[in-house]
A and B are shown apart, each in its own frame.
Chain A
Amino acid sequence: MFFFNLTLGEFALLWSAVSGAALALYLLDRSRKKIKVATMRFWKPSERPPEAKHRKKIQQPWSLIMQILGMGLLLAAVAQLRLGSPDRSSRDHVLLLDTSAWMAAREGQRALIDEAKVNAIRWLRSLPNADRVMLVRADAMPTPATVFETNRQAVEMAILQTKPGASALHFQAALDFARRMQRQHGQSGGEVVFAGGTRGHALDMPNEAALPPTLRLLPVKEPARNVGIRRFNVRRQPQQAQRWEVFISVRNDGRAPETVPLMVTFGNAPIGSSVLKIAPGGEETARYEFETKAAGWMEARLQVRDGLAEDNRALIEIPEQKPVRVAVFTREPGLLQPLMKATPRINAQFAPPEAYKLDTDADIIVIDRFRPPAKPVRSALYIEPPADGAPLAVAKSGVASKMKAWRVEHPIAAGLRTLDLRLDRTTIFTSSPNVETVAEADNGVLIAASPAQPRAVYLGFHPGAQTLKFELAIPLLTANIFEWMAPEVLRRLEWNGESVGTVKTAIEPRTDTATIQVLDEQNQPLPFSTSDSTLQFYSGARGLVRVRTGSRETVHSLSLPEVGEAVWEPPARVRRGFGRASGSDSPIRELWPWLALFGAALLFAEWWMFGRLRLPTHGGVITPIDMLRRVVAPFRKAS
């Protein structure tokens, strides 16, 4: 038996003070009243003989005893007297419920998460009522589902509402979090209970030397075999716009070798299949190629029945690959045709300058050495615009020039270094604040670009001229110009089917981090880090994440569950199962309601037996009106 709110000393002190006050009031109440009067003339004692009283003696001991006992019982109720052992008073436990993707696996008819929930609830119901429990959902990032609380129904409800996530278990982080919570919020340390599987990444396994001494495991029976797709990568071949490469990586998490058939389909049409033989803990890859220009769903499926069905299928949506439509208005199409064909994703249509229309249906318009009757409303490439009516002021026309400098910071000049370019006939532009200089000749601006929409590029020479036919810089320059004018269409795309969690992707070396964008499905930026040629980001939820680095975009379809490759074997000293908690053989019983009831009853009995006699009576009988008068008397006086 112990007090929850007070120590025994505090209780004794308080009860002594209350008892002393009661005794003093008792003696005061029963002492003779001293009254100062104006005259003795009218005072006559009562004819009734006074009761023989000894003032310093307690005349009604039972009244005093009942008062002191009643107040003691009420005080004990306030102090929350409990039946049981004080070391079982109130402990704070952290229940770690495994919500990793692995918990969706099934062993028999039941999912691992369901078994973990049953174990957790069974452990919860075995706790004393006063113990507080915090439920933490543990996957890659531990998340508290409840605060420390004694309301078992709330904790059970939170357990039942728990679902497996998509990431792998970070066991060490979960244990660290549990201990931190116990230190910060807990009054007295309880157990750290882990309910679930122990599968995770090898680096995330707990350090056995630093395990919490109060760790208890409620393990689940894990499936013996599981084979799953771990990576699904689709990318377009650089040389052929309609040819795709598919890479699939499959791992065997079981304890026995597996032979699993793998089938890849695009729009329900099979594009490849193989049978993979995978050793326990091993990983095999498969590579396929196929051609398509249509949009559709690409699916990789393992034909196997194992513990976790979610990782047997991966799905990627491939959008339609649209070419860039270029309308070329020229009198000499033969000069530009080789350049247009050099870029596979460009679809060029040639027409004479007379066919030029303002509403030409194309993404880019090429205006070759003539003055259009109206300024185009789409992005345009001007080749040697005539001085008369040129959109950009021409300084000189028809002069020989030598390339002096490339503005390499401009995207159009990216990768261009050649300076020994001699041009027999060039148009030199006047620099303007509205245009950016891309290349300079020894006598002025040779290539300029206008970034305002619609974009425009001004070439002071013809790229298909005979003298430039064998220059390596010209196709690259043309590709850069089209990429700068239609970046969305010409972006190089790559799709990766992966699991949630930490994702690493390769980027080009020395990529400016300011140009990198990592966006989720809502186009909201995600934090990322880069080191050398690797970009790393974390996403805890399924969905699409786009990584844009310059002209390249990698789409990460985080749809695969993240299953750890390692299984932690806990040391023998870690407690397992539902063993009885220390001191739980003496369950605590709350006594305060009974104490409060008895205390109040005792005080009422004292008043009934002794106090009511002091009320003014009508013929010796106490009426309810007398009692009411007594109650309302102070209020009437005050008013």
Chain B
Amino acid sequence: MPEPLIDQKFLERLERLTLHWQKSFAGLVGGHNRSRFSGAGQEFLDHRGFFPGDDLRAINWRAFLRLEKLLLKLFQVEPRVPVRLLLDTSASMSTGSPSKFDYARKLTAALSYVGLVRLETVLLQPFAGTLHDPITCSGGRHRIRPAVEFLEGLEAGGRTDFLNAIKQFVAEYPQRGLVIVVSDFFDDHDCEKPLQYLADFGHEVFVVQLWSDDDRVPPHDGEIEIEDAETGQIVKLNFDEEARAAYVDAFDSYARALRELTFRKGGRYIGLSTATPVEQAIFGAFLEARSMQ
């Protein structure tokens, strides 16, 4: 029996958290923005006649006393800031031990739950070369189950094409909001440009870069034959201490560049090793980055 993505105890700890963003999106409420109305944040819109099956709590009893007619109050739901989670499902995510893909799914489930608890509308959008079928969850914490089942049904595969996926995303979701990108950002092409494109479109970008320890510091020595998990390309090379140092240096430089770009565009960046437990990452790195409070 596979291990569940997220357990009840962890969910209980997530209850007190709130997704936090820095930008102000005109006409939208939700998240850390206070609503002008008390209660559930709904605004009265109109009356209509009562029909059997309608919610009795919405009947305007004062009007009934005066008019002796059952009238139902109608409310307008205010548009809220959409929270969108872009989850990388490319083949490169399946490497490493523990698997980055499993780690990313757990992290995504945890972030979704935090959003649902605060009645946000959460969109889970998997992608690799293109966008895959998404799922939208809203309506409170009890709607986490479909999200978890959706995540459990995902499989890693395919090549990453960040630019294409982001273009498609921007075209499909014109409403601005919080975009959390969970990926290893291992694209043969440049990842900076797509992120810049996303930020320039008006989204608040929250980058979560994942890597396994082997991704950052390969433990191999001597003559090795490496195979790209996405392209299948094979390269034979001699790897030693010096090469390892150069590798680590290049990796760190790339992560640093990604971080600086995100900050420059008003977003936030978190780099996580899969050796860090998800719970520790949520209550450590995420809180420190002020992406939650």
Q: How far is the CA of A49 from the CA of B250 in the complex (A)?
A: 21
Whether, in the assembled complex, A35 has its beta carbon less than 8 Å from a beta carbon of chain B, the answer is: yes
Does A50 lie within 8 Å of B238, measured CB to CB? yes
Q: In the complex, what's the smallest C-beta–C-beta distance from B37 to chain A, in angstroms?
A: 48
What 1/0 mask marks residues of chain B from 175 to 186 whose CB sits below 8 Å from any chain A CB?
A: 000000000101
Q: How far is the CA of A374 from the CA of B88 in the complex (A)?
A: 123
Q: Which residues of B contact A39 (CB under 8 A)?
A: 92, 184, 186-188, 228-230
Q: In the complex, what's the smallest C-beta–C-beta distance from A559 to chain B, in angstroms?
A: 87
Q: How far is the CA of A510 from the CA of B232 in the complex (A)?
A: 110
Partner of A48, one of B238, B251, B254: B238
Does B224 lie within 8 Å of A33, measured CB to CB? yes
Whether, in the assembled complex, A43 has its beta carbon less than 8 Å from a beta carbon of chain B, the answer is: yes
> With A34-B227, A35-B220 as given contacts, are A40 and B243 in contact (CB-CB < 8 Å)?
no
Q: In the complex, what's the smallest C-beta–C-beta distance from B266 to chain A, in angstroms?
A: 26
> With A36-B95, A39-B92 as given contacts, are A46 and B240 in contact (CB-CB < 8 Å)?
yes
Residue on A with the closest CB to B242? Answer: A46
Whether, in the assembled complex, B233 has its beta carbon less than 8 Å from a beta carbon of chain A, the answer is: yes
Q: Which residues of B contact A47 (CB under 8 A)?
A: 242-243
Whether, in the assembled complex, B225 has its beta carbon less than 8 Å from a beta carbon of chain A, the answer is: yes
Q: How far is the CA of A135 from the CA of B254 in the complex (A)?
A: 87
Does B238 lie within 8 Å of A40, measured CB to CB? no
Interface size on B, residues (CB 8 A): 37
Q: How far is the CA of A51 from the CA of B240 in the complex (A)?
A: 12
Q: Which residues of A contact B218 (CB under 8 A)?
A: 35, 37
For window 258-302 of A, CB contacts with B under 8 Å fall at none
Partner of A32, one of B100, B225, B254: B225
Q: Which residues of A contact B243 (CB under 8 A)?
A: 44-47
Does A35 lie within 8 Å of B224, measured CB to CB? yes
Q: Which residues of B contact A36 (CB under 8 A)?
A: 95, 226-227, 229
Q: Which residues of B contact A50 (CB under 8 A)?
A: 223, 238
Q: How far is the CA of A51 from the CA of B222 in the complex (A)?
A: 10
> With A39-B188, A46-B237, A50-B238 as given contacts, are A33 and B254 in contact (CB-CB < 8 Å)?
no
Q: Which residues of A contact B227 (CB under 8 A)?
A: 34-37
Interface size on A, residues (CB 8 A): 21
Does B229 lie within 8 Å of A37, measured CB to CB? yes
Does A32 lie within 8 Å of B247, measured CB to CB? no
Partner of A43, one of B92, B95, B237: B237
Whether, in the assembled complex, A589 has its beta carbon less than 8 Å from a beta carbon of chain B, the answer is: no
Whether, in the assembled complex, A576 has its beta carbon less than 8 Å from a beta carbon of chain B, the answer is: no
For window 419-477 of A, CB contacts with B under 8 Å fall at none
Q: Which residues of A contact B220 (CB under 8 A)?
A: 33, 35
Partner of B96, one of A38, A42, A46: A38
Does A46 lie within 8 Å of B226, measured CB to CB? no
Residue on A with the closest CB to B212? Answer: A38
The residue among A35, A38, A44 with the most chain B CB atoms within 10 A of its own CB is A38
Partner of A41, one of B100, B188, B242: B188
Q: Which residues of B contact A243 (CB under 8 A)?
A: none
Whether, in the assembled complex, B61 has its beta carbon less than 8 Å from a beta carbon of chain A, the answer is: no
Whether, in the assembled complex, B45 has its beta carbon less than 8 Å from a beta carbon of chain A, the answer is: no
Whether, in the assembled complex, B246 has its beta carbon less than 8 Å from a beta carbon of chain A, the answer is: yes
Whether, in the assembled complex, B67 has its beta carbon less than 8 Å from a beta carbon of chain A, the answer is: no
Partner of B226, one of A40, A49, A51: A40
The residue among B222, B235, B254 with the most chain A CB atoms within 10 A of its own CB is B222
Q: How far is the CA of A1 from the CA of B236 in the complex (A)?
A: 52
> With A36-B95, A37-B95 as given contacts, are A43 and B254 in contact (CB-CB < 8 Å)?
no
Q: How far is the CA of A33 from the CA of B218 in the complex (A)?
A: 13
Whether, in the assembled complex, A53 has its beta carbon less than 8 Å from a beta carbon of chain B, the answer is: yes
Q: How far is the CA of A34 from the CA of B186 in the complex (A)?
A: 20
> With A37-B228, A41-B254 as given contacts, are A46 and B238 in contact (CB-CB < 8 Å)?
yes
> With A39-B228, A50-B223 as given contacts, are A32 and B236 in contact (CB-CB < 8 Å)?
yes
Does A45 lie within 8 Å of B239, measured CB to CB? yes
The residue among A35, A50, A53 with the most chain B CB atoms within 10 A of its own CB is A35
For window 241-259 of B, CB contacts with A under 8 Å fall at 242-243, 246-247, 250-251, 254
Residue on A with the closest CB to B219? Answer: A35
Residue on B with the closest CB to A41? Answer: B186
Whether, in the assembled complex, B215 has its beta carbon less than 8 Å from a beta carbon of chain A, the answer is: yes
Does B240 lie within 8 Å of A48, measured CB to CB? yes
Q: Which residues of B contact A49 (CB under 8 A)?
A: 238
Partner of A46, one of B186, B187, B236, B239: B239
Does B225 lie within 8 Å of A33, measured CB to CB? yes
Residue on A with the closest CB to B184? Answer: A38
Residue on A with the closest CB to B215? Answer: A38
Does A43 lie within 8 Å of B225, measured CB to CB? no
Q: Which residues of B contact A38 (CB under 8 A)?
A: 92-93, 95-96, 100, 184, 186, 212, 215, 229-230
Q: How far is the CA of A58 from the CA of B231 in the complex (A)?
A: 33
Q: In the complex, what's the smallest C-beta–C-beta distance from B121 to chain A, in angstroms?
A: 32
Q: How far is the CA of A538 from the CA of B288 in the complex (A)?
A: 102
Q: In the complex, what's the smallest C-beta–C-beta distance from A43 to chain B, in angstroms?
A: 6
Q: In the complex, what's the smallest C-beta–C-beta distance from A366 to chain B, in angstroms?
A: 104
Q: Which residues of B contact A42 (CB under 8 A)?
A: 247, 250-251, 254
Residue on B with the closest CB to A53? Answer: B223
Q: How far is the CA of A49 from the CA of B240 in the complex (A)?
A: 11
The residue among A32, A34, A43, A53 with the most chain B CB atoms within 10 A of its own CB is A43
For window 174-205 of B, CB contacts with A under 8 Å fall at 184, 186-188
Q: Which residues of A contact B247 (CB under 8 A)?
A: 42-44
For window 525-567 of A, CB contacts with B under 8 Å fall at none
What 1/0 mask marks residues of chain A from 328 to 345 whose CB sits below 8 Å from any chain B CB?
A: 000000000000000000
Q: How far is the CA of A454 from the CA of B33 in the complex (A)?
A: 121
Q: Which residues of B contact A33 (CB under 8 A)?
A: 220, 222-225
Q: Which residues of A contact B233 (CB under 8 A)?
A: 40
Q: Which residues of B contact A35 (CB under 8 A)?
A: 218, 220, 224-227
Does A43 lie within 8 Å of B226, measured CB to CB? yes
Q: How far is the CA of A44 from the CA of B239 in the complex (A)?
A: 8
Q: In the complex, what's the smallest C-beta–C-beta distance from A444 to chain B, in angstroms?
A: 100
Q: How far is the CA of A40 from the CA of B188 in the complex (A)?
A: 8
Q: Which residues of B contact A51 (CB under 8 A)?
A: 223
Q: How far is the CA of A35 from the CA of B239 in the complex (A)?
A: 12
Q: Which residues of B contact A37 (CB under 8 A)?
A: 95, 215, 218, 226-229
Q: In the complex, what's the smallest C-beta–C-beta distance from A284 to chain B, in angstroms?
A: 103
Q: How far is the CA of A142 from the CA of B240 in the complex (A)?
A: 79
For window 68-95 of B, CB contacts with A under 8 Å fall at 92-93, 95
Q: How far is the CA of A47 from the CA of B245 in the complex (A)?
A: 12
Residue on B with the closest CB to A49? Answer: B238
Q: In the complex, what's the smallest C-beta–C-beta distance from A638 to chain B, in angstroms?
A: 16
Q: How far is the CA of A33 from the CA of B238 in the complex (A)?
A: 11
Q: Which residues of A contact B238 (CB under 8 A)?
A: 45-46, 48-50
What 1/0 mask marks residues of chain B from 121 to 152 whose CB sits below 8 Å from any chain A CB?
A: 00000000000000000000000000000000
Q: In the complex, what's the smallest C-beta–C-beta distance from A141 to chain B, in angstroms?
A: 72
Q: How far is the CA of A38 from the CA of B225 in the complex (A)?
A: 13
Q: In the complex, what's the smallest C-beta–C-beta distance from B49 to chain A, in angstroms?
A: 61
For window 5-53 of A, CB contacts with B under 8 Å fall at 32-51, 53
Partner of A40, one of B212, B215, B224, B228: B228
> With A33-B220, A35-B224, A37-B229 as given contacts, are A43 and B235 in contact (CB-CB < 8 Å)?
yes
Q: In the complex, what's the smallest C-beta–C-beta distance from B176 to chain A, in angstroms?
A: 31
Q: How far is the CA of A35 from the CA of B218 in the complex (A)?
A: 10
> With A44-B246, A45-B243, A48-B238 as given contacts, are A32 and B186 in contact (CB-CB < 8 Å)?
no
Q: Which residues of A contact B250 (CB under 8 A)?
A: 41-42, 44
Q: Which residues of A contact B187 (CB under 8 A)?
A: 39
Q: In the complex, what's the smallest C-beta–C-beta distance from B191 to chain A, in angstroms?
A: 10
Can you give 13 contacting A-B residue pairs, CB < 8 Å? Answer: A33-B222, A35-B220, A37-B228, A38-B95, A38-B96, A38-B184, A39-B229, A42-B251, A42-B254, A43-B226, A43-B235, A44-B247, A46-B237
Nearest 3 Cβ contacts at the A-B interface = A45-B237, A39-B186, A50-B238
Known pairs A33-B224, A37-B226, A40-B188; list 12 more (Cβ under 8 Å): A32-B223, A34-B224, A35-B220, A35-B225, A35-B226, A36-B226, A37-B95, A38-B184, A39-B184, A42-B251, A44-B250, A50-B238
